[in-house]
Chain A
Amino acid sequence: MKVLKFLGALTVGSLLSAAASAQTVVRWLHIEPNPGAIRLWEETARDFEAKNPGVKIEMSFLENEAFKARLPTMLQSRDKPHIIYSWAGGVLKAQVEAGVLEEITPQVREHMAGLAPGAVGAFTLNGRIWGVPHAVSQVGFMYNKELMTKAGVDGDAIKTWDAFLDAVRKLKAAGITPIMVGGGDKWPLHFYWTHLAVRLGGKPAFEAALRGENGGFEGPVFQRAGDMMKELVDLQPFQNGFLGTRNPQAVGAFGDGRAAMILAISSFYATQRALSANKEGIPDDKLGWFNFPAVPGGQGLPTDTLGGVNGWLVTKGAPPQAAEFLKHFVSAEVQTRLAAGGFLIPVAKGADTGLRAAFLQNIARNIGASTYHQNFYDQDLGPSVGRVVNDATSELAGGTMNPRQVAKAIQDAFRQGN
């Protein structure tokens, strides 16, 4: 009798699961660590499910570094996710060339008119659209006003590299850790070198390097970027043991008020709270921001920005509902809500009215007025060369490579290609 009951239960169970699998399931893989943002995203997913019966959106999470490491393998498995996170750039290009993505041009072309053209452009290759952008970001210095004041530094007044170095010296003299950095993840350190290069050479220098002109990444602009980064490193501006600190740890520690500055992606505005010990982090009135300082004789404009364009790709063989969901996800209404939560700088036109925090409004203005928005080098240059940029610049920070060796390592990797 018991056996019969058990068998009965099994049959019912399998019938139920058969009914469930008749639904279309869209697997959505993200890297967002902030529970506040996730709550809104989940609402959006449930919203979409309600409007589209028979569709189920399944969210799963991987930590940033784990995501990057596992993606190539994952994309070729049978159970691959349908929607994946992307920073566009060279990694996107490699994925397109490998044929692991679904082109979504016909489905989303009209919808893209409602988004910022620059962001859409980052996901368009040869006129074909491969992904949907949902946020933009800027790299710059986030600072703790209290600690800066204690050392007698005015963050808003830091406009030049020399003033910045001076601030670092003053903070050190006051016994305050000047800068927090997640050097264990390496990419937070590569921002210094790349942003210096953006300031020193602007767009022409990067494009010339890509064409292999002026010595490529071994050229004078990039050598100089290394030299200037070395100037900073020599002041020992980072927290103790910075080469072992992971980025989430560093952002959390900044939120805990353990250092005065952090070279941040603007989205750290929200994560410094989520990752801090008390989950409150640094409140708005004590949180400052200054753009990466200008350098003497730099060819780049002060309005040039380094930052990311973040979005979503649809993998090969995914159901059409995946792209439909993305359209819903970047609709002005959803984007406004996410902007209002302070989780991102939106790309949907008009959604920036949702930005309530002055901090983010400022970033949105910067990006809106940007004369040249350079994508993160480690993404833009592709998976292999990008990693070398990260490796070499973190070795520069650790003192195991000199600026010449850094430039050479990157140029060698670039020449070798993938």
Chain B
Amino acid sequence: MNTSVSNTGRLLMAALRMLLVLTVVTGILYPLAVTGVAQALFHDKANGSIVKAGGKEVGSSLVGQSWDLPKQNPDDENEAARPDPKWFQPRPSNSSYDPLATGSSQLGASDSRLVQAVKDAKQQVAEFNGVPESEVPKDAVTGSASAIDPHISPEYARIQINRVARENGLTEQQVAKLVADHTDGRTLGFLGEPHVNVLELNLALRDLAKS
């Protein structure tokens, strides 16, 4: 009995030493080595693809943000966000584009609350952009998985052109060209879906409107 207890104790100590050594290899050396290489070769990407405009950091090209009007009452937490008609609008977000609270609605595809949310979003997007509901694309009325999806579909960008041009004093052709320039196809031609980066598009829009 005593020998089996001391055997078990010896085995557990050996296991602990093994775990500590492997922690050094995989938990310290490995991430530090990868970080070193990543910071040396891909400094901007490794640090979050931060986008600067006019020398100031304004976001990350991989993290979506909201494009709402300033709150009427900054102290009112329940005040509904109002999208700013001047900007291209992103997809609905489960967390108002807070990067510290990523994740989706988790509602099932036939859930009545999701049906209502889609119905409301469809009506709002159609009205806001002055298009019939039948032209509103699926990504405009569904929440993304991450809640910080930086992209919209080219179709969703297209139905916003008319409104954005009007609000910024630009012609539709100018804005349509901007959208075309900022539409990325599938990666390598066949991976994923075509998409438009909202932050980059809006920054280009701001430059165009200023000039």
Same complex: no
Question: Which residues does A use to contact B, with CB under 8 Å?
Answer: none
